[in-house]
A and B are shown apart, each in its own frame.
Chain A
């Protein structure tokens, strides 16, 4: 039972390059989230999904796209990376139903955009 995994762990990009971050979960959770964490800013929600085939914007969605083709996977794409997207990216999942408000986080992906 791996929980929430993220691929890759670390990546260096040049400005303008594209990449996709993968989040995978074996918890059978309906909800999945992508956050970025920056010093002094805390965790900020980029996009989220309430179920397979659905996506929605969070607090800081610009410059990112997401897809949830399978329940267990949530992809975060950067079409044209910018230095401002240098950050640590975390995926999180949550079950549906009353009282299931707790989110479970993956180990993170460190992204450096030069």
Chain B
């Protein structure tokens, strides 16, 4: 079983839709949870970063962590064509060196 599992999609939505991206993880020691966005032929860039359980909001983006079910979510409101990218979830234990990534979900927002 992979440390972090992510539905690879692809996911295609119309402009303005609410997007929900999800991951599950297996290691209960994970404390930090991240979402990276990766445009085609570019490196991953950090989008959101949360510690432990709860919600974090940044503009149109909301990251949610439920440690009881080991579930990580990213919601995008009012999705834009510029949001079209691959979204990677990642998790790590405090003080550890190995950041575990999901395989990524490719999102396309259609104008």
Contact = CB atoms under 8 A, between A and B. Distances in A.
Interface of A: 4, 31, 33, 40-43, 45, 48, 50, 56, 58-59, 90, 99, 101-108
A107 B49 contact: no
Interface of B: 6, 8, 32, 34, 36, 41-46, 49, 51, 88, 92, 94, 97-99, 101-104
Contacts of A103: 46, 99
Contacts of A105: 36, 43-45
Contact of B103 (A41, A45, A90, A106): A41
A37 B74 CA distance: 22
B43 A42 contact: no
A50 B88 contact: no
Contacts of A107: 42-43
B97 A40 contact: no
B104 A42 contact: yes
Given A45-B98, A56-B97, A101-B92, A40 B46 contact: no
A29 to B, nearest CB: 13
A103 B34 CA distance: 10
Closest 7 CB pairs of A and B: A105-B43, A42-B103, A101-B32, A43-B101, A42-B101, A107-B43, A105-B44
A42 B88 contact: yes
Contact of A48 (B44, B49, B97): B97
B43 A108 contact: yes
Given A33-B97, A103-B46, A105-B36, 13 more contacts: A33-B99, A40-B103, A42-B101, A42-B103, A45-B98, A58-B98, A99-B51, A101-B49, A101-B92, A101-B99, A104-B46, A105-B43, A108-B42
Nearest to B8: A40
A81 to B, nearest CB: 22
Contacts of A50: 97
B88 A43 contact: yes
Contacts of B8: 40
Contacts of B88: 42-43
